[in-house]
Amino acid sequence: MSDPEKIFKAYDIRGVVPDDLDADLVRAIGEAYVEVLDRPAAVVVGRDMRVASPKLAEAFAAGVTSRGCDVVDIGLASTDELYFASGHLDLPGAMFTASHNPPDYGGIKLCRAGAAPVGQETGLARLRSLVEQGRQGHQGADRDVVPAGKVERRDLLSAYAGHLRGLVDLSGIRRLTVAVDAGNGMAGLTVPAVFEGLPIDLVPMYFELDGTFPNHEANPIEPANLVDLQAKVREVGADIGLAFDGDADRCWVIDENARSVSPSAITALIAVRELAREPGAAVIHNLITSRAVPQIIHEHGGRPVRERVGHSFIKATMARTGAVFGGEHSAHFYFRDFWRADSGLLAALHTLAALGEQDQPLSKLLEEYDRYAASGEINSRVDDQAATMARVKAAYADRVGVTVDELDGLTVEHADWWFNLRPSNTEPVLRLNAEAADQATMERLRDEVLGLVRGTVNA
């Protein structure tokens, strides 16, 4: 029997199908979600191309309709298309995807009406409690009997594509050759729809929707998954390469020299564009983006706001501050004009617009946004996360010129460098990100911290 305790994560629901997540459990989640939402008129449901997603989405819809609530089924969709549907229709939503996880995983990303996030504090904890009560027989017998809701199928792909094109004007850009690796994920459906009619020569890679991921994992944060795209950029002389994850809510950029572009540089680039449109606005960045990001926001008259990692935190802070944009180191980009939701394709359109509005190659355009040497995210398995982090903190806390904060994991800052060490929520892993003014300093810092984490250097 599948176990709710294993599948409820910090921001979503995810697990191996059917061991952790099966149709019966998902139906129960659908029933409980209606109660968490105080019985809305309808819930929008979308799904990715994974083998298990159709049956899981159908089971969820059955649970929702059994409680008298209607379902608007938008079928195959990217996660940001589901967010569009939620905002456009002003309805809560459920997206069936496990994003970049291996093929045997399934999952659900939930949102309230207007694409508002659902995390532990905003519904997931209560949802889990209701599901567990129901499976233990503590509810159900005395529930009121209601007429079943109905399922309405709607195709919103064209409306979604038109909405994105309406947010970023590419009509006047020079013609660009754009190589896109969809990783057999949902970008294979959404990219052609969004790029239709634009001055773009599209070079598609792995656009066939295939939840077995026959070519490579749809996880662009891993360098090995970018190799094919980098080769294609060289082969065709593309102006830019774009790689999407499985549910297409993240976008990774490759320049014309086939070099990977830091998401921090893209965050800074889009921030500058949004601040030109709305001077003085707040821009959110998570605490792992490059130090260049808040510097550039300041330089362009904006108000940088630092936040912890995670979409529910970013979206909540955007709502509180009225921020026009937000970016994360993981290539999630959030837009106030897109219901504060993240959209990989909207970030791609901004990048294409910036590139096509001038004559320089992408590498030259991004030079001012890429100021420091960064390690990228490095994972280390540890037996005791808390003890290991305490050991690292002790090693740095008393050093001259060093400040320490624990907003999200452990962040240690110096005038010439900084690093963040964060525990994984789902496995015994610590994630290190380090940055410094130059490559040599970064490498020394990276190696010293890793030595402390892995026990090869004494505190």
In the 3-class helix/strand/coil scheme, how is 27-76 assigned residue by residue? HHHHHHHHHHCCCCCEEEEEECCCCCHHHHHHHHHHHHHHCCCEEEEEEE
CA distance 81 to 84: 5
H or E element: which one contains 106?
strand 105-112
Q: Strand 282-286 relative to strand 303-307: parallel, antiparallel, unpaired?
A: parallel
**43 Cβ partners below 8 Å, 6+ apart?**
33, 34, 37, 64, 69, 70, 71, 72, 91, 92, 93, 94
Token readout for 339 is 């219901």
411 with 392: CB under 8 angstroms? no
26 φ, ψ to 5°?
A: -65, -35
What's the DSSP call for residue 285?
A: E
Contact 430, 373 (CB under 8 A): no
99 a catalytic residue: yes
Centre a 10 Å sphere on the Cβ of residue 40 and count the other Cβ atoms it contains: 17
Q: Are strands 70-76 and 151-153 parallel, antiparallel or unpaired?
A: parallel
How far, in whole angstroms, is CA 147 from its chain's centroid? 37
φ/ψ (deg, to 5) at 20:
-100, -30
Dig out the tokens for 439 from the structure. Answer: 């490559």
Selecting among 53, 78, 99, 343, the annotated active-site residue is: 99
Q: Are 449 and 456 in contact (CB under 8 A)?
A: no
Provide the annotated active-site residues.
99
